[in-house]
Amino acid sequence: MKVVEAPVDIGGLITRSRGIKNGSPHIAGTGVLVRTIVRMYQQGLGPEEIAAEYGHLTLAQVHAALTYYHANRQAVEDEIAGQDAEAARLEREHARPRTPR
């Protein structure tokens, strides 16, 4: 039996709405997805560097996104894996066939 984790709310800093960003968690008042912050973090950028990349984000917003990730790691990892799988599928579907030389 698989245990389903309940999402942890990080106050008003992180939000998710069915009609916005396909229901993916994002930083409230912005179009920045939690998974975007997580990808940058996984690539080695620190919270300060991520905030600097997005001049309109505060350090608190970046930390809130990372806190959401750590509190809901499996759900966010599953979403990232799903996005990667969809990107790979589209890449295969739209790749030009190679012609033999």
DSSP codes of every residue in 38-77: HHHHHTT--HHHHHHHSTT--HHHHHHHHHHHHHTHHHHH
Residues facing residue 33 across a β-bridge: 26
Q: Which domain holds residue 81?
A: 14-94
Within a domain: residue 1? Answer: no
- 3 lies in some domain: no
Q: What is the mean pLDDT of residues 3-12?
A: 67
Residue 45 lies in a domain: yes
Name which of 26, 44, 43 is nearest 35 in CA terms. Answer: 26
Average pLDDT over residues 80-93: 90
**C-beta separation of 6 from 35 below 8 A:** no
Task: Classify residue 9: in a domain, yes or no.
Answer: no
Q: How many domains does the chain have?
A: 1
What's the pTM? 0.77
Q: Retrieve residue 39's tokens.
A: 């990808």
Among 73, 87, 5, smallest CA distance to 34 is for 73
Segment 53-74, tens digit of pLDDT: 999 999 999 999 999 999 999 9
- Residue 47: give its domain's CATH number: 1.10.10.10
